Amino acid sequence: MPLPIDDPRIRLLKTAFVIYDHEDLDKADQFLNDFGLTEVERSEDGSQIFYKGYGPDPFVYLARKASTSSFGGAAYSVESRTELGKAAKIENASPISELKAPGGGEIVTLTDPAGFHVHLVYGVRQREPGELKLEKLTVNFEDEKPRRGKFQRFKPGPAPVFKWGHYGVTYPDGGYDMMYDWYTKHLALAPSDIVYLGEKPITVFFHIDRGEEYTDHHAFFFKRTKPDEKPHVAHAAFEVHDFDVQQLGHDYLTSKDYKLCWGVGRHVLGSQVFDYWFDTSGFIVEHYADGDLVNNASEVSHEQAGPQALSVWGPPVPPVF
């Protein structure tokens, strides 16, 4: 069943795009191309660059030139213009305005208790699919081998990004309830996993709540900052076709001498195969593949914090995590 008509939360459809400000936009541009994104539009003065994946979204990443590198927020597509009207009534929300970006549409911007922007968009024109079609591999197992007389051959290069899939932010010590209440009151997000330190919850992974409709295991998460840190974006994650494409992208980024953060490995919560990198501004971005899907019948897991909750296999967990 879909969400009830009288659900007061903003009804979300899917993730849309992220915004980052970069002090050195030229270096960021080179990294983002090597990361597997494709430029779709650039402002006349060169201060804004929109990037797309090969999925239907007209763009998934907006890079802006700025005096200081910072996170500009993340956007969700909403179900109807009525949802934008509801959002505009939330405290500190912007009015509905034109989304001046590829695909057009309209936008409302909210600000969460930690100061992060949450953008809600409607009426964005989607692109026609079929620009890039990647082969779904036929896999031979020990007891079933359907691939006969055919060979697995791969082309080195960047891992093409399909879509932007999820992101996370941090919150100051003592702000867990404040963040949880704000996100679950205003947005149709529901917990998939809750992570505890002892008896105290510190991290939540949220999926977009579409009732019985399955959605990605998480579109958003928040976690506590370290004592000496200010709230900041944790990372943004971009879906790629499969593990082989992901590993080829890992090797390509390695060959370009970019800074590896963590990967390649397999997560516990969400099951994704992950590969995290630092971009040229120091932000963490992720390639992921093979993630879980959940709905309102999926059991919420409760996990203790620690390396055992982060990966099934892969390199040791780095300090940044």
Residue 140 belongs to some domain of the structure: no
Residue 42 belongs to some domain of the structure: yes
Residue 121 belongs to some domain of the structure: yes
Residue 26 belongs to some domain of the structure: yes
Of 32, 86, 31, nearest in space to 59 by CA: 32
Which of 3-7, 111-115, 122-126 bottoms out in mean pLDDT, i.e. has the lowest? 3-7
Residue 209 has pLDDT above 70, yes or no: yes
Residue 10: is it exposed, middle or buried by C-beta count within 10 angstroms (0-12/13-18/19+)? buried
Quickly state the pLDDT bin for 130 (edges 50, 70, 90).
Answer: low
Residue pair 291/270 in contact by the 8 Å Cβ criterion:
yes
Q: What pTM was estimated for this model as a whole?
A: 0.95
Of 157, 158, 164, nearest in space to 62 by CA: 164
Total number of domains constituting the chain: 1
Residue 231 belongs to some domain of the structure: yes
Residue 212, pLDDT score:
95
Distance, CA of 281 to chain centre: 18
- Domain holding 260: CATH number? 3.10.180.10
Residue 320 belongs to some domain of the structure: no
Q: What is the pLDDT of residues 14-67, one digit of tens each?
A: 999 999 999 999 999 999 999 999 999 999 999 999 999 999 999 999 999 999
Largest CA distance in the chain: 63
Residue 121 has pLDDT above 80, yes or no: yes
Domain span at residue 238 reads: 12-127+162-313
Q: What is the pLDDT of residues 253-305, one digit of tens each?
A: 999 999 999 999 999 999 999 999 999 999 999 999 999 999 999 999 999 99
Distance CA 208, CA 238 (A): 16
Q: What is the pLDDT of residues 215-243, one digit of tens each?
A: 999 999 999 988 788 999 999 999 999 99
CA distances to 62, 72, 184, 290, 301 from 81, rounded to whole Å, are: 23, 23, 20, 32, 34
Residue 139 belongs to some domain of the structure: no
Residue 148 belongs to some domain of the structure: no
